[in-house]
Amino acid sequence: MQLSLAQGYSLTTMLAVAAAALLLVGMFYYRAFHALEFRRWRTLYLLRAAAILLVVMLLFQPVLSYQKEHVEKPAMIFLLDASASMDIADDESELSRFDRARGKLEQWSDSLKRDFRVLTVAFADRALPLETREELAALIPNGRATSLCRALATASNQLAPAEVAALVMLSDGINNAAGNPPESAGKLGLTVHCVGVGAGLRSNRSYRDVQVVGIDCPERMMLGNVARVTGSIDAAGLNGRVIQAFLDEDGRRVARTELTLDEVEGSQQAAFEFTPSAKGRHAYTVRVPPVSEERIVENNSRSAVSTVHEAEISVLYVEGTLRAEYGALVDRFLAKDPDLEFCALVQTRPNVFLQRTNMGDMRLAAIPADRETIDKFDVFILGDIDASYIRPEQQEMILDRIRAGAGLVMLGGYHSLGPGGYAGTPLAGALPVELGDRRIGQFTDPFPPVLTPEGVRHPIFANIGVFFPTRSGGPQTPGLPPLVGCTRVERARAGATVLATLTADPGSMPVLAVQPLGHGRTAVFTGDTTRNWQQVSQSLDRESPFLRFWGQMVRWLAGRAEAVEAAAGVVADTDKAHYEPDQPVQISAVVRDRQGQGAGNARVTAEVKGPGGRAERVELSSVPGPGGHYQGTFEPQSPGRYEIGVEALLGDLALAAETVLIEVGRTNLEFEKLDLDEKMLMGVAAASGGRYVHISTADHFIEQLERRQRKKTTYVERRLYWPPGLWTLLVAALTTEWILRRRYQLR
């Protein structure tokens, strides 16, 4: 025990000051009031002395310090698994795993509370401390996933490590969330004991089960291409049984197979092949009908989500001269269409090419001469380049790619088609027109292409046919600038389709003709000044047929027949539709401006609403590649359905995409693995210096827990002054002295 002064003075100084003050007051009172009777004189002196001592206490602020020992109970924290797998009844008592664990926890809490502060934390995908016995009684094992790591972290944060004797986890050991539980347990600095609840179902001879333990489904599938989905099926107690397995797309059966179950450890593969027929996001489910002896049917299916799409079209554009049409096609069309990736080569001097591309991995210094590179492209555009720069073997490889499903268009120019020396080349035989020789020349008068009846109906002219004259009359929407000449050709080939001609006269020279070649398509467009279609239309604030014409041309050559969007909009998607908890979600968006071009200057944000309605905002950034593409990521923190709404601000234009839905965690995730995982629980206990026991033998273990209470020494400081009270007493003493002096008729 020690007496000290808060102001830093010594105790001797305080006593000296107090003694001196009392002595001086006594001398003053004796000299001034010695004529009073002793009782009155003493009363006045004692009141003044009390006031002096109160002032000294307020000035020096004495503090009494001492150490105090007391006994403190350590804490015992129980972690109770409340995930859905704990609802299984797998022992003779027919109680669920959860009910057995909760019953034991209540029993042990009663026996331990005399020596420990008992705390309980319930956990599944999240962990929640329980405050009362009623909360424990009302708990239902329905968690959609199990995170042992989060359970350990939450429990360790309840108290300081020095206050906790140990953590006791009651669980079946199934961990289907992110993280490494043994590693997490080893870092806590606490002892973790694990109590296993449940059984190894396969050790039970009467146990019968068929389980779809996995599904291998591509996250993205190509429309119209054969896709393969594989289900992994495991069974217990059903050796030799022949079962059927089905593949469903959005609940509709698309494939089936039969499988003979075996006793070999590990799963068997059920492979399904089918052809996706509709674009968009679809749920694919591998399922096995329950057999009559099964007790658990929640694990008889497994689902995955895949997006069926048409791939971006890859375009190779080759020009022999740096002409205005090249700049228009590259800058105003290829670089702005968000559905295209392109590589453009323009010859700056003989056999020296300059590359423009939005394909990150494409590096070309000349026209590709290897099949691997040529096969990467879906459409080939050959501009004003002489045939001498494309070797016959290169032409043959391009034709092989076209026969396999690609497309080719050859444009007019002074060094293309007939004037370019293509007559007699491999490419010439694949084109829909007969070219003529190098002397065939050019048509130099301005003209509007005249659509044939086939051209009016063709996908290349979808929604823009009104700008062109037809054989029955002028354009419905006048004002489109004419082409400034074209390259002459002799005639259309037999089997070709002529879409536009030089004049309305029957038999007029083809300006645009197309024809099939194997699984692909070829076209010849003799004009070379379509750039004017955009310039004039934009100046008059009209829709430009330039973008639609070339966009629909390329899509048709690639085997796509859809019309080009020519309006502002934003389309959003995610890299897949199903995620595990804590797995990053990649959000992508494509933004188009009012002309349908990819907009690279938009501000794009996503609002993500998760389970419970909590919202999070994610900024999307522009990414390299086709114009108008944006990406951003976020990490979902809990299982459930998430709604993603994407908005884009493009100047004064606000755009919104349709809401994208994703699922985090699988519906039957907790039933994919049902056996007690003793290995996991042993690993958690060993990593922290704890022990593992099964619940059937855990009573003895609980009784053996160290119950030594801890003595704790506390340093206590007690102030011997209380300013409000001392000031009150000082005022009371001085006031009383003044009243008595008036009563005694003193000054």
pLDDT digits (tens, 9 = 90+) for 565-588: 667 888 888 877 778 777 889 998
The DSSP letter of residue 527 is B
Res 540 pLDDT > 50: no
**Token reading at 688:** 């922290």
Question: Mind listing the pLDDT tens digit for each residue in 74-94?
Answer: 899 999 999 988 988 877 777
Least confident interval from 157-171, 333-347, 730-744: 730-744
Res 710 pLDDT > 60: no
Burial label for 242, CB within 10 Å (0-12, 13-18, 19+), is exposed
Q: Please state the CATH superfamily assignment of the domain spanning residues 313-557 in this structure.
A: Class I glutamine amidotransferase (GATase) domain (3.40.50.880)
Res 24 pLDDT > 80: yes
Provide the mean pLDDT of the chain: 87
Q: Which residues fall within 8 angstroms of residue 590, CB to CB, at 6 or more apart?
A: 338, 570, 571, 598, 628, 629, 630
Q: Which residues fall within 8 angstroms of residue 147, CB to CB, at 6 or more apart?
A: 123, 124, 125, 126, 127, 175, 177, 178, 179, 581
Give just the sign of the alpha carbon dihedral 739, 740, 743, 747.
negative
Which H or E element spans position 449? Answer: none
Cβ-contact 104, 113 below 8 angstroms: no
Domains 209-309 and 313-557 share a fold: no
Cβ-contact 639, 145 below 8 angstroms: yes
Instruction: Please state the domain extents for the chain.
Output: 2-68+716-743, 74-198+675-708, 209-309, 313-557, 569-664
Greatest Cα pair distance in the chain: 149
- CA nearest neighbour of 531 among 484, 475, 588: 484
pLDDT confidence tier of residue 685, bands split at 50, 70 and 90:
very high
The class level of CATH for 569-664 reads mainly beta
Instruction: Give pLDDT, residue 539.
Output: 45
- CA nearest neighbour of 199 among 727, 677, 745, 710: 677
Right CATH for 74-198+675-708 from 3.40.50.410, 3.40.50.970, 3.40.50.300, 2.60.40.1840 = 3.40.50.410
Residue with tokens 């938009």: 602
**What architecture is the 209-309 domain classified under in CATH?**
Sandwich (2.60)
Least confident interval from 183-197, 369-383, 621-635: 621-635
Res 546 pLDDT > 50: yes
Instruction: Give pLDDT, residue 614.
Output: 80
Cβ-contact 508, 450 below 8 angstroms: yes
Question: Mind listing the pLDDT tens digit for each residue in 334-351?
Answer: 988 888 899 999 999 998
Q: Write the CA distances from 316 to 353, 367, 382, 430, integer angstroms.
A: 13, 9, 8, 18
**Token reading at 111:** 């026996």
State the Cα–Cα distance between residues 466 and 477, nearest whole angstrom. 5
State the Cα–Cα distance between residues 531 and 546, nearest whole angstrom. 7
Which H or E element spans position 145? Answer: none
59-73 in b/e form (b: 16+ CB < 10 A) is ebbbeeeeeeeeeeb
DSSP SS3 for 727: helix
At residue 121, what is the residue type? V
DSSP SS3 for 421: coil
State the Cα–Cα distance between residues 85 and 124, nearest whole angstrom. 10
Cβ-contact 471, 452 below 8 angstroms: yes
What average pLDDT does range 594-623 have in this prediction?
A: 87
Instruction: Give pLDDT, residue 543.
Output: 59
Q: Write the CA distances from 16 to 13, 23, 28, 56, 249, integer angstroms.
A: 5, 10, 18, 11, 96
